[in-house]
Structures are given as C-alpha cells and as structure tokens.
Structure 1
C-alpha cells in the first residue's frame, strides 16, 4: 500500500501527513517569546518584592449557561449566586486583606449586574475583558471575534470609567485570529495561555508582538476542583482543605523561586462559604511571608512594559 505524499496534501489531511513546514507553522503561530524575568531577583517585581501575587476572579455568573442555551431557572440561579451572594463577601474579604484584584468580566455579566462593576471599581480593583457572553472564541471567525471583544471592551469602559488594558479569553485558548484581535484592539496584556510559570512576551510567527502574557494554569484554578454537572460525569467536589494545600504549595514554591503566584477563582464557584474560608486562610498564610507584592495583572503588566521597554507591534 502506498501512502499519499504529505507535501502534496491539502488542509484536510491528518496531522501525521503534514509536511514539516505545516506543523512548524502551526506551532509558531502563537508562541512564547522572551522571558520577562530579570536575572536579578531583587529587581524582578514592583517594590523589589521577592514574589508577586496576583489574584483574579472570572465573574462569569450566568454567561456559561446562556452561551450554551441553558436557560432553565435552576441553571441560571447557580450563576446568579455569584453576583447576589458571593461578590459582596468576596469584596469584603479582599478589603480586609488589602488585596487589589483583577476581575475578568464577560460583558453580559456586567450588563446583568452593573452593581458588581461599581463594587470592583470602588474597591480599587481592575476590570478586564473576558468575552461577550463567555463565547467559545476558538470556534469564531475573525470578524465575529473582533466584534464581540470590541463591544465587550466598550461596555466595560462605559460601566467602569476606564478602558480595559487586559484580556482573558473565555476558553483560555486562542483561535486562529485571537492574537490579531488582541493587537488590533490595543490590549497591553493577555492572561489565557500556559507556556511558562512567569510572564513572557507573545510571539506571532516568530516575531515579537510587545504583548505581555501573564500565564494561568488549571492547577491554580478553582473550576477543575469544584465544578459539577448533575446530568453528566463532572462531579469532583474536592475538600477545600485539599485544594488549599495544593495552592499553598504552589505559592511557597513561587516565593522560593522569586516568581509569580497567579490564582484564578470564580464568584459562583469559590464564593460559597466553605470555599471562601479556604481563600481567606490562603491569603492570611501569604501575608505571613515577607517581601510579597500584591497587585493586579494590569499593574504587573505596566511594570514589565516599562522595565523591558515593550511596544506593541502592529
């Protein structure tokens, strides 16, 4: 049996048939560029801190259900809890610990709950883009993705009074067009990808873009540990104490390395009482360490942009 020559294959061939030029092109389309970590540990982070701590809340609320057409009152109530019950107690907790935080907000969440945005701004927190309706951006053509993100930024600017400088894609992934959209709309940084423990510059087809990536990780996200679907097989529901131990280990390792500890939470997931207590204990533990800087993702991006003289490439 003869195999088709990979060099003559079209776009619908299997990956194992791709010529080297094709798989290299796919890998290099969006890639980690230079590391944005000073070799001098004492000069890496703002205020010459040993470790930078970034807390983020993705305020999805009802939007993942709406995105999937799940409009039953039971489903939407789970999302509504995020704004009605969780956000007020989260803001109280953050104020007690004096922790500026980044809130990534789908525009539909902001329009449904404008009082949330008022609370975030009043607390000195960052409001950043997280899509329009928590859409699966990886399935969108360029025109649709550009339109949704552009309108989302407009909504958040109107409600918060400040144009968002950062974005986190709803799916923690890029489509073929996402980086182009981010560049076109002038975002300073993204926080969706996972190529490093520390911040880095994004490259597009091997060329630097000037866009800062503040990486995330599923290990440091509450959703994999606590989400559930009563009609499916998704029922992890780990003990908050078990998850807390993982995050303590992650923080302590970041502190020892002189790095960044970035944690992603969701009001409708970790805003429940037992889980909020978990986050409260974690923040108390972090506060026992010397030389830790708490800041928003935008503040860290501003620090890195000035330090490394980054300019966004058109």
Structure 2
C-alpha cells in the first residue's frame, strides 16, 4: 500500500508549510522532521524551532516570504522543488496572530477582524491556488506518475484555543468543496482536508499529529473534503516514512522516530582566526586616506573581538581546537590579548608582520620578516610555529621556499582544492601576455618545474574568501572587495550549503572556517558564528565531525599520503 511517498526516489516526502513561524506551524514542522520528512518552511518572520539536531536540520529548507504575496508563494514552491524535489503536501497554517485572537467577539474591533481575515483568507487561497497550478503544470511535464500520484492539502483553520474568529484560514465549506472538485480533476488521488479547533483546549502538538495523519495517504488516503478536530491521542497515527526505511518498531501511544541514518565519513573542521588588528591597515590595506576612525577597528579587534571570540569558543568547547594566525605587529602591540589566545590552548601560526603581501616585498625583505616573526612566536608560545597563512592569501614561490627552509609543516593560503589538503605546488609564476607579439609566442600551457609536480613535505590546507567572514561582512572604506552590509544569514546559509554538499559528496574532507576578531567579534555577527558552529557540533555528536587544529589536519594528511603504496 502506498504511504504517500515516492517509491522510486530517495528524496523522501516533501511538505510545504505556510505560516511556519506560528506555534502550530513550528510544531507541524517538528513533527514532519521527526518522522523522516523533508520540509520547506514558508514565512516572512524568523522561525523559532529549537532542539532540532543537525540531521533533521539538513531536511529543513527555510524560505522567506509573505503568504499574501502571490509571487512569493510561486517562488516558494519553486524553491521547495529545487531543494527537495516534487512537493507532495501543502500545509496551510494561518499566519496572523494579532488582536483578533485576543479579544472576545463582542469587543473585537472591525478593522482587526478585517486585517486578520484578509491576511489568513487571502494567504490560504493563494497557497492553494498556486499549489494546484503547480500540480497542473508538473503532472505531465516533469515527473513520473508515481512522483505526484497522491498529493495532499491540509488546512489548519485556527490556532488552538482561538475558537471561531478572524484567525481562521477562511476555508468555508463552499470553497472546500470547490477545491476538492478541482483537485480531483488534476489528480484522482488528490485530497484536501481541514483541521479545525474543537474543544479549544488543543495544543500545537495535537494539531501537528493530526496534520501528519491527514498528509499520509497510507493512513488517510480515503479521507477528503472533511473537517477534522485535532487528535489528542497518537495511538492511531501511522507516521509518514522515508522510502529507505523498511521497518519501524512501533511503541504503543507514540509516533516512533525514523531509523537513524548511517554515519558518514569524518569531516575535519578547521576553525581559524586571523588576528590582524591594526596590522591589517599597514600592509595589504594601506591607503593614503586611512585615518584614526578606520584603524580604530584594529583596536576593537584586539581588545574586544579577541575576548568575545575566546568566550564563545570556550562555551562551545572548541577553543583549544582552533588555530590563530597572528601577525608579529599584533603580537608585539597587544601582548595581553595574544597571551589569552596562547592560554586557551589554541595553535598559533604566523601571518606576516604588518600584514604585508609577498608582492610588496623583495625576497630579502620577505626573509627578514619571516625570521623576525618566527622569533616572536617562538618566544611567545615556547615552541616554533608550524603553520603559516599569507596576508590576503598573497604568496609566491619564494614564500613556499622559505617555509620549507624554516621547517614549517603547512601553509593555509591556497585553494587547489576547496575541501581536501594537498601537497604545496612547485610551479612558476604566471607571466603577463604581451599582445603586441605574435600569438605563437604566448600560446603555451603551464609547465611544472619539477617532477613530481609538488613540494613535499609542505602541506596546503585550503582556504579562500568564500570560507571567511571579513570580505562580505565588514566594510573597509578603501578596500575594493569589502562589502560589510550583507545579512549574516546569507553567509550562514552559504556555509551550511557548503557543509551539507561536502558532507554528502566528499570522502574524508576538511571544512575550513576563517574568522577575524574585527568582523566576527562584532555584536551582530558573533551570534551567527556561534549558531553556525553549534549546528556543526550536532554532527560531532554523531561521530561525523572532528574539530582540529590546522597542524593536526596537515599531519593527518601527510601520514595518510605517505602510507599509500608508491604510485597511488
């Protein structure tokens, strides 16, 4: 018997929930996630959904949009399909939670009634309209008959305890019958039902269980066009199951959780912090118009950002599993703050002296800088540094030569790969083309300068602008590639997407995250970093993630590679 899922796909059951930020909407999302489904949460307010672990969060897609906006509904359904495949169930939850739910009818202002009715009735109509249009356009064009064989629409008519007020979604019996008739024209197995408040004592969990019951064709494939009161007892419920789940042991009186997904290979997370402080304004970001107001952010980085980041990292129990890359100028200018970093147990690597780029220096100056910084850090930490990150990722062949000469184990500046370490390359610098000369003189490939084309034993741990905070989230007035006004959630979602794709597609990957105290120490950013790292730590509980100092990753890679048989 069908359970309302795609039997020919591993994408599972995909539900689209409007009014996702309400109490009932959030509980419905939780119920679907707990039962192995994929959910797209649609609302223009922040979703308050605590206690969702990383595996469940990977099956949640949050789409920002207003249910009364026709274009937003269409875009939301398209986004749900892009993320998780065909949308098998539409769950309509009233979005308005205003005064209409507080006043008794005799005291309810007419404008509040009209405001609530417009919001919820229009929102329900548009969601249903465009879901039916979605089914109509996709039933023959995109998917096999099984993919959208039994779509279900479930409308939640009121928040629990509200009663018959303008908080209702506005699905009266005439419209219900009309939708049922049109749905059958599109799909003979399509269903629509309404969950409506009965005793006024139902909880959000009661609504959620009933919605889950009605969305499943296995339990309610014969039910359509009905008003149903929330179920307060889950014994009769059969959960929607993902197709890969072949057997579920049911315990009386509860909806069982799906079988746990098998553990995947380990992801090594490399959290690193570049403590540029004032040095960032001296080297690569030097500009004649830099002024006191600009480089005061460097003092903020050291005196405010460093303690804030250390407190956050200690709270997450990863402070001693991070790597700080510290310019010599920062170490000498802010010794108390740098000593806090050392005391945390973190690894300390080099990052130039005044954040100077390699191409700003002569080879001799580059050597002098490295010798000076090596001495500073050796005295500070009590042992020689083993890692290096080039300021602004600017390094050249002479830089790598010096790192080898000074016994460094790794560099963290290049991106020959975005989630796998690699041996430091041995290759010539790019030469500019002189287009005044015949084409034959400059049409030639890159030639490696040694065989094999790498420089063992120096390891490269990847890092670049897409893995860091500063470029998108901090404004630097004289730096062409700075932005500074990007919503932190844009970066958070980009990092989550990177992590999930790497998790699913790479073997034994690394996941670098680069922070700057100037940027991530700011009040509107540090909370996002804590939220993101806490999310990553959920995978650590399942044995999928290990937070590592960058030197540990380099040693792991070297040992793994050198243990391979020759020629592999």
TM-score, length basis structure 2: 0.44
Equivalences for residues 155-194 of structure 1 within 5 A: 155-194=376-415
Cα distance between partner residues in 2 of 1:201 and 1:229: 33
Contact 1:117 1:127 in 2 (8 A): no
Instruction: Find out whether 1:54 has 2:270 as its counterpart.
Output: yes
* Residues in 2 aligned to 1:127 and 1:176: alpha-carbon distance in whole angstroms: 23
The 2-side partners of 1:188 and 1:177 are apart by 16
CA contact (8 A) 1:190 1:213 kept: yes
Query: Judging changes above 3 Å, is the alpha-carbon distance between structure 1 residues 183 and 284 closer, same or farther for their aligned structure 2 residues?
Result: same
Residue 373 of structure 2: aligned partner = 152
- Structure 1 Cα separation of the partners of residues 309 and 479 of structure 2: 29
Q: Distance in 2 between matches of 1:248 and 1:128?
A: 27
* Correspondence for 1:220: 467
On the 8 A contact 1:104/1:167 being kept in 2, the answer is: yes
How many aligned residue pairs are there? Answer: 263
8 Å contact kept, 1:61–1:83 = yes
Tell whether the 8 Å contact from 1:106 to 1:132 is kept in structure 2 after alignment. yes
- Counterpart Cα distance in 1 of 2:312 and 2:479: 33
Match of 1:296 in 2: 549
Higher relative contact order (CA 8 A, sep 6+): 1
Cα pair 2:280 2:355 within 8 Å, conserved: yes
Query: What does residue range 1-314 of structure 1 map to in structure 2 within 5 Å?
Result: 50-67=266-283, 68=286, 72-99=291-318, 100-197=321-418, 198-204=420-426, 205-206=449-450, 207=452, 208-209=454-455, 210-230=457-477, 234-256=482-504, 257-258=506-507, 259-289=509-539, 290-291=542-543, 292-309=545-562
Residue by residue, what CA displacement relative to the aligned partner does 1:274-304 show, whole Å, maximum 9, x if unpaired? 1000100001101111221001101111222
Q: CA, structure 1 residues 231+122, in 2 after alignment: closer, same or farther (shift >3 Å)?
A: closer
Matched-pair contact (CA < 8 Å) for 1:142–1:181: no
Q: CA deviation at 1:255?
A: 2.2
Using the TM superposition, give the Cα deviation of residue 152 of structure 1 relative to its aligned residue in structure 2, in angstroms.
Answer: 0.7
Give the distance between the partners of 1:63 and 1:173, measured in 2 at CA. Answer: 15
Residue 230 to residue 72, structure 1, CA distance change in 2 (3 Å)? closer
Does the 8 A contact of 1:64 with 1:134 survive in 2? yes
Distance in 1 (alpha carbons) for counterparts of 2:358 and 2:474: 21
> 1:145: Cα distance to partner?
0.5
Q: Which runs of 5+ in 2 are unaligned?
A: 1-263, 427-448, 564-568
Distance between the aligned counterparts of 1:180 and 1:231, measured in 2?
32
8 Å CA contact retained: 2:282, 2:356: no
Deviations 1:3-26 (A, max 9, x none): xxxxxxxxxxxxxxxxxxxxxxxx
Q: 1:147 to 1:231 in 2, by over 3 A?
A: closer
Q: Is residue 141–residue 177 contact of structure 1 (8 Å, CA) maintained in 2?
A: no
Structure 1: 5+ residue stretches without partners? 1-47
**Of the two, which has the highest radius of gyration?**
2
Alpha-carbon distance in structure 2 between the residues aligned to 1:201 and 1:231: 35
3-state SS, counterpart of residue 171 of structure 1? helix
Cα distance between partner residues in 2 of 1:276 and 1:184: 38
CA RMSD of the aligned region, Å? 1.9
Over 3 Å counting, the alpha-carbon distance change for 1:203 and 1:175 in structure 2 is closer
Cα offset, 1:136, TM superposition: 1.5
Kindly state the Cα deviation for residue 72 of structure 1 after the two structures are TM-superposed: 3.0
State the secondary structure of the residue aligned to 1:241. helix
Q: What does the per-residue CA deviation read over 1:62-84, in whole Å, with 9 as the maximum and x for residues that have no partner?
A: 00212326663212211110111
Residues 393 and 464, structure 2, Cα contact 8 Å, conserved in 1: no
Conservation of the 8 A alpha-carbon contact between 1:108 and 1:133: yes
